Structure 1
Amino acid sequence: MNDYQQFIENVKRKTGIDLSQYKEAQMKRRLTSLYEKRGLKSFQQFFQEMEKDEKLFHEFLDRMTINVSEFYRNAKRWEVLEKKILPKLLEQNRHLKIWSAACSTGEEPYTLAMVVSKLVPLARVSILATDIDENAIARAKIGMYTERSLQELPEEMKRKFFTKEGMYYKIDEKIKRAVTFKKHNLLADPFDRQFDLIVCRNVLIYFTEEAKERLYYKFNQALRPGGILFVGSTEQIFNPGLYGFEMEDTFFYRKIN
């Protein structure tokens, strides 16, 4: 067993995270740059240091889960969600159940809450936001963001939902209360059911083809009939019918009844 394979085994035993489900070349490159920055020479040494140093362990999780997130990322897609997808879902269901999967530091689920609040009172919406990285979830719950995170957000939404505090922007409490954060491993943990909308963007590109296919099936099972899966701008599903979906719009897939 080589150095990296041994590392995969050790990480799986320690955390339940299965790195073999992630694209190997990308993951190795990302993690090698992290341990070399620390002056370490191998994955074995890296794991030994992580066992002793909690800060390094959280850095590993951060690097592994690529916590790059912005509010309203790819604005055109959010407009399609607001103008076309959500109105149709609300015709079918007065109360919406939404899941932001692999939510990172909270920009995506909070964007969802802001967009939905334009259409219905937030009391009619349940938003679950999950991530494998507890550190990212802790930061999401604080709800404080830099200017950079808000650069794609329309100005009127920025004014309405944020208060500037020093160098940071604090999100409105009503938006914060609309989102429930939980730790969840997409590749290992069971999924809840009967969602109207699942948003999983800019995450699937890091998984192997086999892992991706399993997730498409699991997302399908987690949606109610007619529910929508919203994926990232580099994650088009080329044979949606194989997984029980049909294309509703670019990057939006409807569960076939």
Structure 2
Amino acid sequence: MDVKGGKNRYFERLKDKISNDIGFDCHQYKDSYLQRRIAIRMRSNAVTTYSDYIKILESREQEYDALIDTLTVNVTEFMRDPQVYTTFFTFLRELVAAKVSRGDKTLNIWSAGCSSGEEPYSIAILLRKIPAIMNGDIIVKFVATDIDEGSLAKARTGLYKRDALKNLSTYEIRTNFTMDGQLYRINSDLKRMIQFRKHDMIRESAIRFCDVIFCRNVIIYFSRDQQKQLYMKFYNALRNGGYLVTGKSETLIGEATNLFVPVRRKERIYQKMPKTT
């Protein structure tokens, strides 16, 4: 069996094959993460070695679709870690108020690694609670990105099971969703707020001039070097004073530790400070 041999030649060959065949860069992820996710597909195909799984990929092209779904899947729900959103809402209102006072009419938001849309729609629910946004004093430019087309398709459709809404109040559900059979459909006004776009945050340039970047429970899957690269990308993408919100198990590393101020360390909410010369 070679299923646990992260550095054996078949595992390395498998990573190269996936990258070459479909352009999904396995080398940007931690080996331990790849091993866990690939093992799920190996069990589904009743094989125990990487060499045998390579043969599966060579003989069944449709297996790549299932593999990519497994590699990019994230546990997600509306207002995941509710205290993070409650705390962030305070900073969001202050940010909007400051923009209104100085005549800055645009609020730029990027949800990076948005999966099937629960995170950006959660932010949109908060935005609807701010009068300056609802009455048009502030124009929201909101981009949500993910590498997986399947997840983006789900986000654009905006249909969710009741369990995904468990952190929302009855009022938030009633005012932001309509029933569609046994599912809940996000209202069209929230959909119109957000542009969903395919994007590889490692290989492609960042969304620029952001006031807010949410990237929660994504960075943890990348290698340490890739994490350092991402944090600096986010820093350069943010305007001075802009906010970065990460997952509760994610911590700034590298140069970024000196460039962001943790305004709420427990909730992993950071503010960009300008570089000192």
Same-fold call, TM > 0.5? yes
Taking the TM superposition and a 5 Å limit, the aligned residue runs for 1:5-154 are 5-50=12-57, 53=60, 55-83=62-90, 85-90=91-96, 91-92=98-99, 93-119=104-130, 120-121=133-134, 124-154=139-169
RMSD of Structure 2 on Structure 1 (CA): 2.0
Instruction: Give the secondary structure class of the aligned counterpart of 1:129.
Output: strand
Alignment identity in percent?
32
**1:200: how far off?**
0.2
Equivalent position of 1:163 in the other structure: 178
Q: Tell me if structure 2 keeps the 8 A contact 1:240–1:247.
A: no
Instruction: Give the secondary structure class of the aligned counterpart of 1:34.
Output: helix
Q: Tell me if structure 2 keeps the 8 A contact 1:240–1:253.
A: no
Paired with 2:201 and 2:29, the residues of 1 have a C-alpha distance of 12
Instruction: Give the secondary structure class of the aligned counterpart of 2:20.
Output: helix
Paired with 1:211 and 1:239, the residues of 2 have a C-alpha distance of 11
1:158-188 alpha-carbon deviations (Å, 9 max, x no partner): 1100111221001101001111111111121
Q: Tell me if structure 1 keeps the 8 A contact 2:109–2:142.
A: yes
1:186-242 alpha-carbon deviations (Å, 9 max, x no partner): 121111210000000011111111111110001101111111110011113267754
**1:55: how far off?**
4.3
Paired with 2:258 and 2:23, the residues of 1 have a C-alpha distance of 26
Letter paired with 1:252: I
Letter paired with 2:109: I
The worse-fitting range, judged by mean Cα deviation, of 35-44 and 222-231 is 35-44
Q: Any unmatched runs of 5+ in structure 2? A: 1-7
Letter paired with 1:75: P
Q: Tell me if structure 2 keeps the 8 A contact 1:116–1:122.
A: no
Paired with 2:59 and 2:77, the residues of 1 have a C-alpha distance of 32
Q: Tell me if structure 2 keeps the 8 A contact 1:128–1:180.
A: yes
Q: Tell me if structure 2 keeps the 8 A contact 1:31–1:60.
A: yes
Q: Tell me if structure 2 keeps the 8 A contact 1:58–1:135.
A: no
More relative contact order, 1 or 2 (CA 8 Å, 6+ apart): 1
1:74-121 alpha-carbon deviations (Å, 9 max, x no partner): 1111011112x1123211343211000000000011111111111122
Q: Tell me if structure 2 keeps the 8 A contact 1:225–1:255.
A: yes
Letter paired with 1:99: W
2:252 matches 1:237: yes
Q: Tell me if structure 2 keeps the 8 A contact 1:68–1:104.
A: no
Instruction: Give the secondary structure class of the aligned counterpart of 2:225.
Output: helix
Equivalent position of 2:4 in the other structure: none
Paired with 1:55 and 1:111, the residues of 2 have a C-alpha distance of 33
Letter paired with 1:133: D
Instruction: Give the secondary structure class of the aligned counterpart of 1:235.
Output: coil
Paired with 1:177 and 1:50, the residues of 2 have a C-alpha distance of 39
Instruction: Give the secondary structure class of the aligned counterpart of 2:226.
Output: helix
Aligned length, in residue pairs = 256
**1:21: how far off?**
2.2
Q: Any unmatched runs of 5+ in structure 1? A: none
Paired with 1:72 and 1:226, the residues of 2 have a C-alpha distance of 24
Instruction: Give the secondary structure class of the aligned counterpart of 1:176.
Output: helix
Q: Tell me if structure 1 keeps the 8 A contact 2:216–2:245.
A: yes
Instruction: Give the secondary structure class of the aligned counterpart of 1:185.
Output: coil
Normalising by structure 1, what TM-score?
A: 0.92
Greater Cα radius of gyration, structure 1 or 2: 2
Paired with 2:129 and 2:201, the residues of 1 have a C-alpha distance of 30
